[in-house]
Chain A
């Protein structure tokens, strides 16, 4: 015998009343009350039959839930005498719970006779708790009622579905997460368009964002297999980054939020790089030191709390590390982007062949710039070294120059990051940004962290480079923490400080 369940209609009233009278001898509802229950707009009644021919009604149950109310009530449930003990009651109950979830209830209440242990056990097995007792509730039998409650996971704050838009530099990223789970991460990069200029051209990046928006959104929705109407919130990068590029994302996100009626969260790009770790680890363990290295940033952060307490320990005072890679690659005619090209040459060279300077590491610099970086002097030193060789017509090894240059950059990055961990007694280091793709950076960080008992976190590369998933993930954290959405009037802020995790 298979259970056939469907929504009840008024036509089922006669059969239901038969079972009602048989089941509740002394306190059955009058037919008119039952008719009202079946037809009321705020109730959902289900009837259960033994076959799809619907010959024998074996049970029914009803749920009441007012629209907008977080509470649902199980009004009644009955299974015919001969069908008990076969798990039908449980199936019917599960259908009612499912209905309550669909109607976005957060808790379900029911009353059960204090002497009906069989029913109580069923409710307890499904997660209901006994929260109260109503004395002498059932009359005329004069039996107490147990009030039981089932707490439902609140779908929209427990695991919010959030879409994130990133456009701070040359990647148009749209990511979708459900809570801490990655559903889609689509990146459209304009990198190739910048290649012949040897670096990101802001106007070219901004133009590319505008063109990439719609196709990137479509791809992300398809990848996540969701519809925009299902979203709980939208998040967007509003800084730091290139102003014109940021504005494309901000304008886009605001219109999408208004069109879909979803709350909008304006979030910090750099903190997004830190927050992305929730997608792989389920949380960001704090406090942690974070080293973010890309073509636009070289920042060392102390993250005491992802949403409330992020501190900038230091940053580059001139070029970003990625920029230095690009410039040296161009100097050596290796192509763009510089990082992978330098990496490729460096693998064949000797990192100790040439001792290039380590910026801001001399004692006098360390006083003022303990956690700051400078790559401009290094860049000039490499250029001079090459010029001298060329002027003298002396042959030199490009792999050696690449390896020695790379070692100088990576050495400073890792040394300062590890110092930050040790000085602050924080045994955790998180890496982020496109330069994390650099093999030697990962290798040296691993080595030095291991030697100093520091736990090293390196997210997958698709989450290290600029992406929308990290923005969605940070947005989801804000939603889960119950934060209010941003006011629609925020702007793009190219120098947004890391202390502003969300622009309200």
Chain B
């Protein structure tokens, strides 16, 4: 177990190096000169421009820039944006918002996904099973921005129940609609996964054995059907946390939430290489950690799986 953990943690190192290099290269290859852009309409002062280039190491070859970034990153110095803000401050402002949004979406999709999935799986073929299936299919096939705009129109404008956009430093009510929109697709997947698991597990031989022991229906459902069905659902949910954080870009743009997705998009537009690479590295670390937790959780939930 300890050996397995160590191996998994060590695996993170080449992954971090590879992704940062790739992202750095991509940002470097973006067309346009960020320094020229900083002057806007004003004529470019070559001396000032050269000074800025030297300060941000933009005059050095790509690979050198990359190693300078790496060296600084090791001391938690992620550099500054072109506007002079420390990158770390920008990230510290954006991440809590996104974490709040992702957690809300997560809770929403987990609760409603499992509840509707269980109802659907237990009463296969009933009318509400059909309705639940159709709605989940709809949520999967319609793009998030369509669902987002539709919700904005219905809940925000037509009925005025919820705020249309969130703005900076949003609260619980502001994030309610974005979280639901963000979690809706995953919820639909969870409904379908839970439904399939429940309806296949309920026909298992060990469920019949449990009934033959004289256990009540509720106990059988809880201990033998639900317990076994939730194993793949929990693993899906674990991986989804990371996906929700990285995938919030569209929702954050639609609802004007100043989170990680919004920040990434802005910094790509401005060619802020340091910022983009820092955010992506952080997201990737979250992804790797979530994956590790899911794998460990899987072993804890299913005794047939053991890591060595």
Are A and B a genuine interacting pair, yes or no? no
Q: Which residues of A contact B (CB under 8 A)?
A: none
